[in-house]
Amino acid sequence: MSLPKLKPQKLKLGDTIGVVAPSSPIIGDNIDELNKAKEIAERSGFKVKCSKNIFSNTNEYSATAREKAEDINAMFADKEVKMIWCAKGGNNSNSTFEYLNYELIKKNPKIICGYSDITSITNMITEKTGLITFSGTNFKTIATDETDFSYKQALSRFVDGNLEFGPENEEYITIQKGKAEGELIGGNLSLIRGMVAGKYSLDFTDKILFLEELGFETDPEATSNNVYYMKQNGVFDKIKGLWIGNYEHESGISLEKIILDVLEGEYKFPIIKSNNFGHIERKTVIPIGTKAEINTDEDVKIKLVENCVM
């Protein structure tokens, strides 16, 4: 049985943004990049509060799982903090799962955003609490991107409550025709694959699944392995629709080709492709747990059909 949906409050100018680092450590050049991102946010009219352990590298490859979870729990408990923004991605944010205080999070719903390895945390929080979370640019990235596109997309979603998936001229490609409605779930393919089964698994029933992958780290064979694992564990028997995002590999092989090779026409749900989310600079913000509709007869083939912030 699905949990009651929790919508976070909008972000307002003057609000405090809490920054956490639940994945790879903030060390070296990342420290300057984080400080530059903080300056950008402050110039925009926000206050920025960094978590206690944000610069921790206790394990020499990251902070400990308990340190990371302590920071996330503290930011949810902090009445001053109105949004939690994850600093960067990496590989082991799933280590926090058993230490997150889901009851605390339910009692203090607020925006939490990130992408890449942060996919693990955002989807698990939605699964365990019903809180709508967000796949969008990481905090550090607002200082390292060549443009402010992704930052503006985040502010449009969080401050204005905009329901559009930018940019306006984004090309949406129909891979398999159809119409479907369901709550959004997903993000980075490798991370979603890790939450298909076991104690910390996701419920894919009647969802619209969105997937992207980092081609620099995950070659077509490994990507195929991940998609097959999801198929073999019944994910594609449960979902209502599939939205494919960015994947760039030196072979030129596309993510949609890999996915279609695995699915082999066995499923009837609509499948669409766009290039506005994933490991790419121009990222829209996708609310996890919010209801959306795919309609391949439309120019913009996916749209949100309910608000994701209050």
Q: What pLDDT was estimated at residue 264?
A: 87
Mean pLDDT of 283-287: 97
Q: Which residues contact 67 (CB under 8 A, 6 or more apart)?
A: 53, 56, 58
Mean pLDDT of the chain: 97
Residue given tokens 């959306």 in the structure block: 292
Each residue of 22-61: pLDDT tens digit?
999 999 999 999 999 999 999 999 999 999 999 999 999 9
pLDDT value for 53 = 98
- Tell me the average pLDDT across 176-200: 98
In the chain, CATH 3.50.30.60 covers 173-304
Interval 213-236: pLDDT, tens: 999 999 999 999 999 999 999 999
Contact 175, 271 (CB under 8 A): yes
Do residues 46 and 13 touch, judged by C-beta distance below 8 A? yes
The CATH fold of domain 16-158:
Rossmann fold (3.40.50)
CATH 3.40.50.10740 domain range(s) in the chain = 16-158
Nearest in space to 118 (alpha carbons), one of 147, 141, 143 = 141
Structure confidence at residue 167 (pLDDT): 73
pLDDT digits (tens, 9 = 90+) for 147-169: 999 999 999 999 999 999 977 78
CA dist., res. 207 & res. 290, Å (int): 10
Q: Distance (Å, rounded) from C-alpha 213 to C-alpha 45?
A: 33
Tell me the average pLDDT across 193-212. 98
In tens, the pLDDT along 100-146 reads 999 999 999 999 999 999 999 999 999 999 999 999 999 999 999 99
- The 10 Å Cβ neighbour count of residue 165 is 23
Tell which CATH architecture fits domain 173-304: 3-Layer(bba) Sandwich (3.50)
Over residues 257-263, mean pLDDT: 97
Quote the tokens at residue 22.
């639940």
Measured CA distances, 174 to 119, 244, 302 (Å): 25, 10, 11
Rounded mean pLDDT, 261-269: 95
DSSP secondary structure string, 164-219?
Answer: --S-TT---EEEE--EEEEEEEEEEHHHHHTTSSSTT----TTEEEEEE--TTTS-
What confidence tier does 1 reach under pLDDT thresholds 50, 70, 90? low
Distance, C-alpha 288 to centroid of its chain? 7
Q: Are 71 and 21 in contact (CB under 8 A)?
A: yes
